[in-house]
Every structure is written in C-alpha cells, then in structure tokens.
Amino acid sequence: MMEDDLTYYRRRFGQEIAPEQASHSVEAAAAHRALAMIYADEIRRLSPDAEPPQLPVSAWEPAASRG
C-alpha cells in the first residue's frame, strides 16, 4: 500500500528532526534543517487546519558543539 503525500511528508519531517540527524558537522545539520523546513511547508499546505509541525532548534545543533 502506498502512503499518501501528507503521510509521506510527516514521516520525512520526523526523520529529519530526529536527534541522530544533528550529524557531525554544521553543514550536515543545515541540510537536515532545510529539508525539515521543506517538509513542514508541505505539511502546512496539505493540512492547513491541522496543528503546524514544530521545528526544534536544538535538533540541528552539531554534535561537536554539544560538548
């Protein structure tokens, strides 16, 4: 069974904000944040009445800067 667009974007958004996506470099963290923002925009577009997805700032803090 194929997932619909909204389900796909929600799943991908969740993957991009997962803690392991903070990666090891600032560049990688920025790429994951950009993808998450794209997916969040698509979720908002497909379900305008739903609660918008939250973009946690700390999710993209590079591992090296977390100590």
Domain spans, the chain = 5-49+56-66
Rounded to two decimals, what is the model's pTM? Answer: 0.76
pLDDT in tens, the chain (67 residues): 688 999 999 999 999 888 776 666 888 888 888 999 999 999 999 998 988 888 876 655 655 555 5
Give the whole-angstrom CA distance, residue 61 versus residue 5: 28
Q: Rounded to whole angstroms, how far apart are CA atoms 21 and 34?
A: 12
